[in-house]
Amino acid sequence: MVSGQVMGWRVGRQECGSGWMGRRCWRKVQQMVKAVGRKDVKIDCQKGKKAQNVTAQQDSQNLYSIHLTNQWPWEKIALYQEAINAAMQKYAKRFPDDVCLDTIAKEIAGGQAQLWLILKNETQFSAFVITKIEMTHTGKKRVVILDLAGKGGLKLVKLIDQIEKWARTIHADEMLTMGRFGWSKMLRQRGHAINLIHYRKVLTL
């Protein structure tokens, strides 16, 4: 899934340490969440593992779970730092015109976007999801799934249901998913409908 927003924010390797996410950058996330104090950028993680481990989806051999990380301490996110950085770099390399890691880091640190991790069997990094909360000009609150990348394929689509549950807790009116056509069948099964199609034509050869 590809974000259509590309901006040259000065946040990333220079300010955030190794890769796009380092200790200082994650501290910024924690500080912003505490400072803003909004329910729409956090989930209750005071109830232990059940609150942090939002849900699980089991296939024939593995159990996949999705986790909202914006209240995780650095020591916990650091366990996955290398895997997150590798997945982000691979994703940005695949879509260089559409994905800007500086923008992602800026928006997460500023509380405008949320980082979710999909773990396999509770401990192994599988994929990441980036969501963002928007307000339409008509006043609707919308949760947008901007990016989903990593390993796991279509079996991970079912975990979007749990992002929907979170969206309901913050009183969002709708969800919008930016994704590839191959996801359409499974998204339709979960109540999502095609809103528009993005066409592209290369003018320079």
CA angle 67, 69, 73 (to 5 degrees): 130
Considering the domain delimited by 13-189, tell me its CATH architecture. Answer: 3-Layer(aba) Sandwich (3.40)
Most confident stretch, 54-58, 74-78, 162-166: 162-166
Q: Could you tell me how far CA 180 lies from the centroid of its own chain? A: 16
Query: Mean pLDDT across the stretch 49-74?
Result: 70
The DSSP bridge pattern shows strands 141-150 and 174-177 to be parallel
The string of pLDDT tens digits covering residues 98-144 is 888 888 888 888 888 999 999 999 899 999 999 999 999 999 999 99
The DSSP bridge pattern shows strands 53-58 and 141-150 to be unpaired
Contact 20, 105 (CB under 8 A): yes
Note the pLDDT of residue 154: 76
Note the pLDDT of residue 48: 37
> What residue type is assigned to position 16 of the chain?
C
Q: Given a cut of 90, is residue 195 above it in pLDDT?
A: no
Query: In the sheet that 63-68 helps form, which strands lie side by side, from edge to edge?
Result: 53-58, 63-68, 113-120, 124-135, 141-150, 174-177
Percent of all residues in the chain with a pLDDT value above 70, rounded to a whole number: 67
Average pLDDT, the chain: 74
Of 64, 87, 68, nearest to 163 by C-alpha is 68
Note the pLDDT of residue 130: 93
The string of pLDDT tens digits covering residues 159-178 is 888 999 999 999 999 998 87
Neighbour tally for 112: CB within 10 Å: 15
